[in-house]
Amino acid sequence: MIIRNGFVVDPKNNVHEVKDIEIKDGRVVESVDSEGAEIIDAKGLLVVPGGVEIHAHLATPKVDSGRVLRCDQSRMDPYTYSDICRAGVWASVPPTHITGYKYSELGYTFVTEAATAGLVARHTHEELSEINPLDKIMFPLFGNHQLFMEYAREKEYDKLAAFAAWMLRATKGFALKAVNPTGVADWSWGGNVESLDQKIRAFDVTSREVIIGLIEASERLKLPHPVHLHANMLGRPGNSAITVDTMEIANKLPINRDSGINLHMTHLQFHAYGGDDFASFRSGSEPVVNFLKNHKNISADLGQVVFADTTTMTADGPWEWILRGISGSRWCNDDIEVECGGGVVPYEFKRSSRVNAVQWGIGLEIALMVNEPWRVFPTTDHPNAGTFVNYPHIAAWLMSRKARESVIGDMKRSAKARMILPSIDTEFSLKDFITSTRAGPARSLGLYQKGHLGVGADADVAIYKLDAQKDYASSPDKLVRAFTQAEYTIKDGRIVQKRGKMVTLPKGRTYWVDAHMEPDLEATVEQDIRAKFEKRYSIQFENYPVSKRYLDWSAPVRPHLVS
């Protein structure tokens, strides 16, 4: 395939010019023989790497619970059957196959399932196999796992790393994920944590000890992606203080990857609140932003609020109980033996709500004030702050002050007074936005064949009806229209989507990390795990690991340091 005469924006390779992209055997190459090659005329169009989703909730039992809980949305946006597509409906918690179609329509080629319990990893992979034609990864949960907490409490970091390696291999996972570390374990006894140094009942361990253990294990294993952390006290007024204290932990610990990053903070908007309660709720983004600007070892995604009727879901069970009380909505809870617990609550973010309006402002404040698209990435924490189909609107808000002002203008005066956003003039360039949705997330994930169009890269390409040399700050609606539907989405050198219609649906890869410690240590730790399985789990040790047959295209990754 040859993509001719398109304006290529490829931040990793500093390309910002009209250029041909030539493809062979699923990779970008120096040149191909044009005779017999498929030619795409991209004159006047924008050519960029395929989008890389770094944090979303797409394919777990809790997502299934959300689908059941939101049956009221079952006729929201029908997706009609075609020669290759199955029928379905778009909703705040869409079916797996519709998820694949919609991401492809946006020009995305890679997705991340950001949290799954190891015990249900088999189910998660079965659902991920339906999200095509995208490549994918998933993050197993560690922060409230009883065995992990015990190793962290004893500061047995080598054993902890060996346990984490076994879990990654057993679950076919990619990175260490933690949600409200130790707080969810305490929720099993009706509690939670409000301090990094609060010891929880039954395990006599603190959040700080678990976070240190996570980073120590991840760095010992040299995992491609750093610890992926949903911090304590999500959604709570005044939580920016504990967020900064949490990031400070990573600042004192080793870094063993060439990105220079040893901690990724998830949906940071939900962790950057000021005030003492919801009556005094205000933006607390400033101390969080200042820390990020001064400490380059941390990346983050936004969890940007959009105003919509959505469905919140998280492995942070105590927060969902709080949100159920705030919203008065229906609720479901789960408790997965030994490992974690979570919940699902329908919720509508309203522009007329002072708190929701300030939340919307905080996410944009973080992105614009830090202004480092290589480290801070737009997400909606799909579907928590809204669905991923709103990414084009986030592009407009980041790239156009006019677009932001049109939203702020409809807000209550009291909301405007409690956010910093109205005073911010910064606007992302097109290169900034492409960096933050392609090159930056790919680098953070350690997947160096993704997020760029240099020779050797996976031939994952998005082509948009957009003139890259125009300034769209004064016409943000054009950005929204262009990014809502790619002219072409190309996966591994094959057109999979063209102007809103799926063309082909090849299976995507599932990447997972084949991590190891020293063989003798692994044997000792596996013996310990086996003994604890007998006492604590309701399944047998041998039945826990996920075999490769659950992955349509297994793509194991060895830990690495090179780009």
**pLDDT score, position 338:** 95
Specify if 478 maps to a domain: no
430-458 mean pLDDT: 97
Distances, alpha carbon 373 to alpha carbons 17, 55, 368, 435, in Å:
20, 16, 9, 6
Specify if 297 maps to a domain: yes
Q: Is the pLDDT of residue 404 over 50?
A: yes
3-state secondary structure (DSSP) of residue 537: coil
456-493 burial by CB neighbour count: b if 16+ within 10 A, else e?
Answer: ebbbbbbbbebebeeebbeebebbbebbbbbbbbbbbb
**Regarding predicted confidence, which is higher, 333 or 77?**
333
CB of 516 within 8 A of CB of 505? no
Token pair in block for residue 316: 């942070």
Phi and psi at residue 309, in whole multiples of 5°?
Answer: -85, 110
Specify if 7 maps to a domain: no
Output the domain CATH number for residue 387: 3.20.20
**pLDDT score, position 562:** 36
DSSP per-residue codes, 427-467: ---HHHHHIIIIIHHHHHHT-TTSS--STTSB--EEEES--
Distance CA 312, CA 1 (A): 42
pLDDT in tens, 128-149: 999 999 999 999 999 999 999 9
Q: 311: which strand partners? A: 346
Distance CA 526, CA 539 (A): 16
User: 109 lies in which domain range?
Assistant: 55-307+349-452
DSSP secondary-structure letter at 280?
S
Sort strands 135-140 and 39-41 into parallel, antiparallel or unpaired: unpaired
pLDDT in tens, 87-97: 998 999 999 99
497-504 mean pLDDT: 95
CB of 104 within 8 A of CB of 303? no
Token pair in block for residue 272: 């950057």
Contacts 24+ apart (CB under 8 A), 453-457: 453/8, 453/10, 453/13, 453/15, 453/21, 453/28, 453/47, 453/48, 453/49, 454/10, 454/12, 454/13, 454/28, 455/28, 455/29, 455/30, 456/27, 456/28, 457/27, 457/28, 457/49
Q: Is the pLDDT of residue 561 over 50?
A: no
**pLDDT score, position 357:** 98
Mean pLDDT over all residues of the chain?
96
Specify if 381 maps to a domain: yes
pLDDT in tens, 199-210: 999 999 999 999
Q: How many other CB atoms sit within 10 Å of the CB of residue 554? A: 15
pLDDT in tens, 305-342: 999 999 999 999 999 999 999 999 999 998 999 999 99
Q: Is the pLDDT of residue 222 over 70?
A: yes
pLDDT-derived band at 563, boundaries 50, 70, 90: very low
276-285 mean pLDDT: 97
Distance CA 144, CA 247 (A): 19
**pLDDT score, position 75:** 78
CB of 3 within 8 A of CB of 47? yes
Q: 263: which strand partners? A: 227, 298
Specify if 290 maps to a domain: yes
Angle subtended at Cα 321 by Cα 320 and Cα 324, rounded to the nearest 5 degrees: 85
Specify if 65 maps to a domain: yes
Would you mind telling me the total number of residues written for the chain in this entry?
563
Distance CA 507, CA 194 (A): 44
pLDDT in tens, 43-65: 999 999 999 999 999 999 999 99
480, containing H or E segment: helix 476-484
**pLDDT score, position 256:** 84
220-238 mean pLDDT: 97
Distance CA 314, CA 234 (A): 10
Matching residue, tokens 């995208």: 134
Specify if 167 maps to a domain: yes
270-287 mean pLDDT: 98
Specify if 300 maps to a domain: yes
State the total domains in the chain.
1
pLDDT-derived band at 80, boundaries 50, 70, 90: confident
152-169 mean pLDDT: 97
348-366 mean pLDDT: 97
**pLDDT score, position 559:** 86
